[in-house]
Every structure is written in structure tokens, then in C-alpha cells.
Structure 1
Amino acid sequence: MSRIQPSNGVLTSLEAALAELLDGLVAVAPISVPLEQARGRIGAETAALVHPLPERNRAAIDGWALRSLDIAGASPYSPVPLMNAPAWVEAGEALADGCDCVLKADLVELIGPIAQAFTDAIPGEGIRRAGEDIAAGRPVVIAGRQLCAADLLAARAAGAKTVAVRSPNVRLIDVAATDGSSLTAEFITELMKAAGACVSVEMAARDARSITETLSVHQCDMVVTVGGTGFGRFDATAEALSLRGALIAHGIALRPGCTAAIGKLGAVAIIALPGAPDQAFAVYHALVQPILDRLTGLTARPTTARPLTRKISSAVGIAEIVLVRQEQSGWLPIGVGDLSLDHLRMADAWLLIAGDSEGHAAGMPVEAFLLRMN
């Protein structure tokens, strides 16, 4: 694909910008990390379980381990005497060979060497069968999925101490804001870490030379800059990209976030985010997140389809980020284009109105990307 040529006053379509950044991009190599560092990262290919979980039948309750055939027909009015005294087991304890059920304490009477059962049971009652948790041959973790606490529970149950993940190294360059604030850089850093990236942060003065000196792609898989992307006298990020010969486009047809810039040094993508939180948020989800998904090998980002409770109008020619909140069974648009901090914190999901669309009618089902875990 030929690189987009930036031109003054002309915005590059979001689709063209994203296609250029994703061109030739592949997932990073897996690394092994301790389980305590794995939550939130994206699982990679891993060895399958040799043995099922649990490996043997185990008690699900405290009680008497028995063979169901030995107590067939037992009832309170017709207890069945047991040839051998049953074994007491605690929940989680492996059962002896031949035992296939566990009865509660008050359902078996044991007087000296004589024992009798007051109820029958079906095979599997009161126990967790071998392989009931995870069958042999299943992977320890599921590749391409963000690891949650339950994934790590399964890995620990399988005896794993480490797990394979894909975790790209991202260099974030915080271009000094005129008020000295780093709020947006911290916000984007947290978003990238939550997406499974390893993030290192560097500061740069708000001039082209300083920014250029920090634009290194050594030992990193993506570079993200925050701030200095506008068209004012102190906005020098795009100029720095140009000086490095990396600039692809400055000005993306996206609202908010139209002053963003994109570039590449070799195969490493560079995305320059505006310094305002809402604009950085929009560019992050429209451009940075898809790149992280490709680098981590994420198979699918969670979405939910619901009907809109209110019409969304959009100008043709520019893509727009819309924040929505769940209201009963529908999506209520709470912010379109210009997004306040209150919109950002109250939203449950976001969706993109394509540049060739005039919006969506009320009642139309739309897919929205979830922002919060349920």
C-alpha cells in the first residue's frame, strides 16, 4: 500500500489511516509471565492439559463416600445395611476407587461396626467427576482472549506457575502541555495497560527538536504521543514526525480528534494523539486500540447490540465517536462528537458513526463496544 500524502487542510479518512497503520502488522511473539502478572493480558498459544481437572472423582460436600449400587432402594422407612463401614470425606477430597457418590452425614447411621443408609443416590451425587472442570486436551488458557481471574484460577488448578501472553511494548511520549498537566497521558497509559500492553512513559518538551529526539522505536512495538498535534504555534508533534521521515498524515476525519497524526518508522506504527482527554479517547479507540488488538492477537472485542433510544445525527464526511449508556433494554446516546469528562465516566459503551453515514434512527439496533466489565 502506498503511503497517504498529507496535504494542508485535507483530512485523511479514518478507514484509510487505519488501513495504512495495520498494513503488514502481525502479533508480537509470546512471552512467559508469572500468573500474578498475567491478569488483563492477552493469552497466547499454550500446551494442552495432559490430565483432566479434577484428575480423580472428588467430594463436592462433606459426607460419606459410597458406591451407589450398595445403597439402592434405601429410604428412611427401609434403611439398607452396609457390608463395610463407609469412609468419611471432606469437600474436595479424592474418593477411593469404586465410590461414585457422597451422602450427607445425617443420611448414614454408624453404630460401632454397623452402618446403614437412609436414602439411595444416583452415580455422581455429591461429587465432582474427573474432568468435570476441564477435560484433558483443553488448553490451560484460551489464546486470543484477555485473561480474567477465572482464567488464572484454571491455570493455578492445572498447576501452572507461568502463562504465555502477547504483550506489546508501547513507548508513550508525553508532550508537555502548556499548563504542565499530564492528565491525558496518564489516562491513555491506563487504557493501554488495561488492554494488555507494557507501557513506558517519556517526557518531551513542546518543540519539534525535543519530540524528534524521543521518537525512537528501539525495542518497542508501537509509539504513542500525547499532545502537540494541533495547528497552533506550539503544536510541533506532526513536524517532529515529518523531520524523522515518519509522517503519513496529519488531520484525520474523526470527531473528536481531527488533529491527530499518524506515521511509521519501519514497521512500527506511530499515533499522535491530541492533548484534550476526549480527543485522545476518540483517537485511542479508533486507531490505537485496533493496533493493540492486532499486536496482542486479540480475537474479538466485546460488543453488545441494543436499539437506540434516541436518534443520532452525523455529518457526512467525518467519522464520529458516540458514547452511550444502557437504559433499560436500549442504548441512550449521551455524547456525540464533543465529549465531556462526565460523558467519559458515565458511558457504558461507545460506537462509531462511519464517515459516509448520516447517523442512525431511534429504535435501530446498533453494536457498541463495551467500556466496562460486567
Structure 2
Amino acid sequence: MLEDSDIQRIARLTPLADVLASFDLAIMPVVPREEALSRATGLALAADVIAQTGHPRSALALRDGFAVRSEETLDASSYAPAALATKPARVDAGASLPEGVDAVAPIDAVQMRGATAEALSTVAPDEGVLLPDIDAAAGLKLRLGGAALRRIDVALLAALGVERVMVRQPRVRVVCENDGAIAASAAALIASAINAESGLAITQGATLEAALGDETTDAVVAIGGTGSGRNDKSVRTLARLGKVAFHGVAIAPGETTAIGSVKSRPVLLLPGRVDAALAGWLTIGRRMLARLAFRLIEDQPFAAELGRKITSPLGLAEVVPVRRRLARVEPVAAGYLSLQSLIKAEGWILIPADSEGHQQGARVIVRPWP
């Protein structure tokens, strides 16, 4: 039988804003590394990416056609062709322009009559031409440090000749402290979210005690064992091997979430329920990971009108899943978020702790699930 002193208890619920504010002082970015651009998709840039040279360096053809001097095509038409002084060079899209020309006429805009060439339409100066430095001038900041590299960034930077970039990728040990499919699925979800937001989730089997002692990682996230159950011991384990900064956060669901550290590495202990673990990750875990990667949280939220009133308890920041209904969104659950409600939901909104909810018709910000 457990002694009363062995039971994990929450003395008070710390406001979410206080927990998040502590991150700005307590969590330091991980050491950056140089990485091949081709392997850096999704990672957080540790420094601005700067164009070393202008692109293109010389004028290029933007289309297939003939390289011409635009002044020679003035007033040309199919009824009154304009004779060109010399036979124009045929150029393909992407080729450098010959000296002395300033435009590329479409193929059908030039006709050959023996050794003579004629323009059949007027071509403006620089028409069909990519001028030097239009893509990027030397010294231009192409992508700022703190941003995650998107697939399009990688493609365009490669086209501009960038081969290597400085990145940060926090290594996060993810541990499942509860048995059963529910906690395991929550752990898999959190690990997937870490990988999607510039981190590297390490999920090979390990106990929380072993994870806390593993100094090759930058942070630890454990799922389960944060409540007052007979087998719950995550918070006591962290207190024994490190430091517990907060146990009990004013979020719903997810009140038993705990935050602390072991040496300089942050530790996030999430409840074993999927909905509670998800709420803890969305409100706290993402901020922790963003601080480690020193990156912006680049959501793609959208504003929507609320189709049904939401009532929320004062003092708790509440995660509410919502789904679209015609031009509005409506809540699908509150309090305990069932698995089926999470599946039906297309995103979530956060009700601040100082709000009692939102009235029907209110404008809310909907954020996507991880």
C-alpha cells in the first residue's frame, strides 16, 4: 500500500502564460551544425541564407526564339515586315544572350527569306529576357534564420547555387511510461509532431530514468505517469534525478502536465491520455521545441465564424477541437476529448484562461492538428 507521501500530488495549477514565460529564460537553443541543403528539408535555419553571387550573372533567354535588337523590330507586322540587319541567332530558353541584342522574339515572329531575316511583330526592349540579378542580387537574404526550410526553399536555393546551410535540429528522447495502446499511440503522435517541426524524435525503448541520464539528447518528453495513480511516478522520478519546475498546468485537458529539467536539458511530462497529451504538446511542447531549435512556429491558422457557443471555465486555458460546417466552425467536444471527436475535428482553438468562452458568431483562430 502506498504511503500518502508517495502519492504524486498537484499543489496548484500554474497558469499557462507563466509556464511559457519561463521558457524564454530557461531553454537555450541547441548548437547549430552545417548540413547539406538536400538533407535539410524541414529543419530550422540557424543563420540567414545569403546569395553569394547574383543570379543570373548574365542576361538569359526566357523563351525559345531569336535573339534580336528590339529597335530593329519597331513597327514590324506581318503586313509590313521589318528587315533585320543580320541573321538573328536562334536561342533556347535558359541560354545566355549573344552580345549586342536586348530581346528574344518568339519563333513565329521572325521569318527567313534566303539570307535575309525579317521581324513580323514588334519586340520590346528586354522582352523574353531574364536580366542579371533579377532572381537574386549578391548579398540578398534569401531565407532568414529561425525559419524552417520548406521543400520549395530547398529547390529554389539549389537553383541559386546554395549547397550547404546552418541548421538546428533538437534531439528529443520520447518515452512512454504507461502500458497499453492509448499511451503508445499518444507517444507515436508526439514523436511524429517533433519530427515534423525541425526536431529528431528518438523513440527506441528506454525508461524515463535512462532517458534522463542520456546526455546525447537535447530534451526529454515522457507520456504517462503524471497523475496520482498507484503506478504514476514520472514526476517523482524527475524530482529525484533533476528538477521539477511545474507540476500541474492550468490547461484543459492536460492539467497533470509537468515541466522541469535535468541539468540544462528541458523535460516535459505529458499525461497518458491522447487528448491530454495532445493538449499539453500543442500548448507547451511546441513552444519548448521551438525554443530549442530557435525557430518560429509557422502555423497556417485561419479565421472562422463560430457556429455554436462555447462555454469554458475561468482560470483554465482550454483546447477545443472544431470542425467545419458550411462557412463556420463548431466544437466537437469539450473537457474530455474522445478519440472519435479528435478524428472528426479539423483543427483546434485555444480559449484563454481569462475567458468564459465564445458566443455563437464570434471570430476565432483555428490551428491545424500536428
Do the two structures share a fold, i.e. TM-score over 0.5?
Answer: yes
CA distance in 2, matches of 1:287, 1:134: 38
Give how far 1:113 is off: 1.5
Matched residue, 1:308 = 306
- Give 1:17's aligned amino acid: V
Classify 1:316/1:171 alpha carbon distance in 2 versus 1 (closer, same or farther; 3 Å).
same
Classify 1:328/1:153 alpha carbon distance in 2 versus 1 (closer, same or farther; 3 Å).
farther
Q: 1:148 aligns with which of 139, 147, 150?
A: 150
Q: How does 1:326-337 map to 2 (within 5 A)?
A: 326-327=324-325, 329-337=327-335
Give how far 1:358 is off: 0.2
Classify 1:222/1:211 alpha carbon distance in 2 versus 1 (closer, same or farther; 3 Å).
closer
Matched residue, 2:229 = 232
The range that moved more, 302-311 or 140-149, is: 302-311
What number of residue pairs does the alignment pair up? 362
2:278 aligned with 1:281, yes or no? yes
The range that moved more, 331-340 or 246-255, is: 331-340
CA distance in 1, matches of 2:242, 2:113: 89
Superposed CA deviations along residues 131-186 of structure 1, whole A, max 9, x for unmatched, are 22223321243322121121111210121222221211212122241459622211
Q: Root-mean-square deviation (CA), in Å?
A: 2.3
- Give 1:29's aligned amino acid: V
Matched residue, 2:363 = 365
CA distance in 2, matches of 1:349, 1:216: 36
Structure 2 unmatched runs, 5+:
1-7
2:258 aligned with 1:261, yes or no? yes
The answer to whether the 8 Å contact 2:9/2:228 transfers is: no
Q: 2:268 aligns with which of 271, 277, 281?
A: 271
Give how far 1:235 is off: 1.6
The answer to whether the 8 Å contact 1:174/1:202 transfers is: no
Matched residue, 1:324 = 322
Superposed CA deviations along residues 246-294 of structure 1, whole A, max 9, x for unmatched, are 2223222211111221111233211011222221111111111011112
Q: How does 1:152-191 map to 2 (within 5 A)?
A: 152-178=154-180, 182-191=184-193
Matched residue, 1:354 = 352
Q: 1:77 aligns with which of 57, 76, 79?
A: 79
Give how far 1:35 is off: 2.2
- Give 2:102's aligned amino acid: D
Matched residue, 2:62 = 60
- Give 2:302's aligned amino acid: T
Classify 1:21/1:297 alpha carbon distance in 2 versus 1 (closer, same or farther; 3 Å).
closer
Superposed CA deviations along residues 41-77 of structure 1, whole A, max 9, x for unmatched, are 1122145213222222222221111121121111111
Matched residue, 1:207 = none
2:214 aligned with 1:212, yes or no? no
- Give 2:219's aligned amino acid: M
CA distance in 2, matches of 1:321, 1:180: 19
2:120 aligned with 1:118, yes or no? yes
CA distance in 1, matches of 2:341, 2:310: 16
- Give 2:275's aligned amino acid: D
The answer to whether the 8 Å contact 2:208/2:222 transfers is: no
The answer to whether the 8 Å contact 1:101/1:126 transfers is: yes
The range that moved more, 231-240 or 120-129, is: 120-129
CA distance in 1, matches of 2:165, 2:103: 35
The range that moved more, 343-352 or 57-66, is: 343-352
Matched residue, 1:3 = none
- Give 1:309's aligned amino acid: G
The answer to whether the 8 Å contact 2:182/2:273 transfers is: no
Classify 1:215/1:334 alpha carbon distance in 2 versus 1 (closer, same or farther; 3 Å).
same
Classify 1:71/1:142 alpha carbon distance in 2 versus 1 (closer, same or farther; 3 Å).
same
The answer to whether the 8 Å contact 1:212/1:243 transfers is: no
CA distance in 1, matches of 2:188, 2:296: 27
- Give 2:197's aligned amino acid: A
2:15 aligned with 1:13, yes or no? yes
TM-score (structure 2 length as normaliser) = 0.89
Matched residue, 2:5 = none
Superposed CA deviations along residues 334-369 of structure 1, whole A, max 9, x for unmatched, are 343332334434444322112221011222222333
CA distance in 1, matches of 2:341, 2:101: 59
The range that moved more, 272-281 or 19-28, is: 19-28
